[in-house]
Amino acid sequence: MDTIDAMRTFLRVVERRSFAQAAQDLSLPRSRVSEVVQRLERQLGVRLLTRTTRQVTPTAEGEEYSRRCMIILQHVDAAHEAVTRSVPAGPLRVDVHGSFAKHFLLPDIPDFLALHPGIQLYLGEGDRMVDLVGEGVDCVIRVGEPQINGLIGRKLGLLQEGTFASATYLEANGIPRSLAELNGHKMIAFVSTKTGSIIPLEFQTDTGTEMITLPVTARVNAAETLTCLALNGMGLIQVPRYRMASDLESGRMVELLAEYPPSSTPVYLLHPEGRHVSARARAFMDWVAPLLTQKLSQLMQN
């Protein structure tokens, strides 16, 4: 393995904080990855990594070396792509919330892979904000304002939010026609993964924003659980309108207080700052950004 490849291997170990996960990403035996790092340490005459049974962390020298490796590899990759105009290929890791992906992204993924058959797509999903560098993710699509440093974001559009409850819940508890009539009603609470606190219901009025926390029937931290409990009559929720479309049409769910909507939620495409964007990641972002921007724009107009 030449020096450039050794640098790539070392940098992936630093990013993933694991020999095993770096080896998996690079399709190499774990022993080979360990051997490459040990050889670098012997050549440099310094210890680059501190190894424990649970994690691998860079030493001060390792941090400095990884920063310089990143700069060198960015130039190498940029030069290679500029000269060869290489076809995007290889593993691509993208993370996106499951329900958003199902509605907006998954139907078009076959088109993207048909355009770039050399790309091996790994699509992860979840509500939490992944550690892009630490988990080896190329980019993420996230709903809500990003609050993490070290990411470059592109705003794709907005999602309209609404307040909803099931028909069975409203039959038993009545339909609130005003904010004052929310008294006596209950909510299913969504717990912020950032703060661990309940997110109140939000209503936009002529005089500003009003935040209301009703008595809570259950606390959840997953969007699918939130909507499932609401469908089973446990209380009010606020979610993007698109997620309720089929249940609203069937009459299982009812939108409430539409004249006092929650503020719309932005959707962002994010990737790590300071890391060379591979041709495959660039191809995906250049494909997905206009696709989602158009779909979100059309949704806001309906």
Residue 97 belongs to domain with CATH number: 3.40.190.10
Banded model confidence at residue 248, pLDDT cuts 50, 70, 90: very high
- Pair 164, 251: CB distance under 8 Å: no
Same domain, 146 and 277: yes
Same domain, 141 and 284: yes
Give the mean model confidence (pLDDT) for residues 104-124: 92
By 3-state DSSP, what share of the chain in percent is helix, strand and coil, each rounded to 5? 45, 25, 30
Look at 69-78, 136-145, 201-210 and tell me which has the smallest mean pLDDT: 69-78
Of 128, 144, 105, which Cα lies nearest the Cα of 284? 105
Of 26, 10, 17, 27, which Cα lies nearest the Cα of 51? 17
**Statement: residue 142 has pLDDT above 60:** yes
Banded model confidence at residue 181, pLDDT cuts 50, 70, 90: very high
The answer to whether residue 155 is domain-embedded is no
Mean pLDDT over all residues of the chain?
A: 88
Same domain, 70 and 20: yes
For tokens 């940098």, what's the residue? 11
Same domain, 206 and 281: no
**What's the rounded Cα separation, in Å, for the pair 163 and 54?**
44
Of 135, 225, 238, which Cα lies nearest the Cα of 185? 238
Q: Give the domain-ending residue among 84, 106, 127.
A: 84
**What's the rounded Cα separation, in Å, for the pair 129 and 111?**
27
What pLDDT score does 67 carry?
83
**Statement: residue 278 has pLDDT above 90:** no
**Statement: residue 194 has pLDDT above 90:** no
What pLDDT score does 72 carry?
84
Give the mean model confidence (pLDDT) for residues 107-132: 82
Q: Which residue has the higher pLDDT, 52 or 297?
A: 297
The answer to whether residue 51 is domain-embedded is yes
**Statement: residue 157 has pLDDT above 90:** yes
- Pair 164, 236: CB distance under 8 Å: yes
Banded model confidence at residue 66, pLDDT cuts 50, 70, 90: confident
Domains identified in the chain, total number:
3
What pLDDT score does 175 carry?
97
**39 burial type by CB count under 10 A (0-12 exposed, 13-18 middle, 19+ buried):** middle
What pLDDT score does 128 carry?
54
Same domain, 188 and 250: yes
Banded model confidence at residue 241, pLDDT cuts 50, 70, 90: very high
pTM of the model: 0.71
Query: How many CA atoms lie less than 13 Å away from 122 in the CB half-sphere?
Result: 10
Same domain, 24 and 76: yes
Structural domain of 122 = 90-150+272-301
Same domain, 173 and 259: yes
Give the mean model confidence (pLDDT) for residues 103-107: 93
**Statement: residue 276 has pLDDT above 80:** no
Three-state SS string over 12-39 comes to HHHHHCCHHHHHHHHCCCHHHHHHHHHH
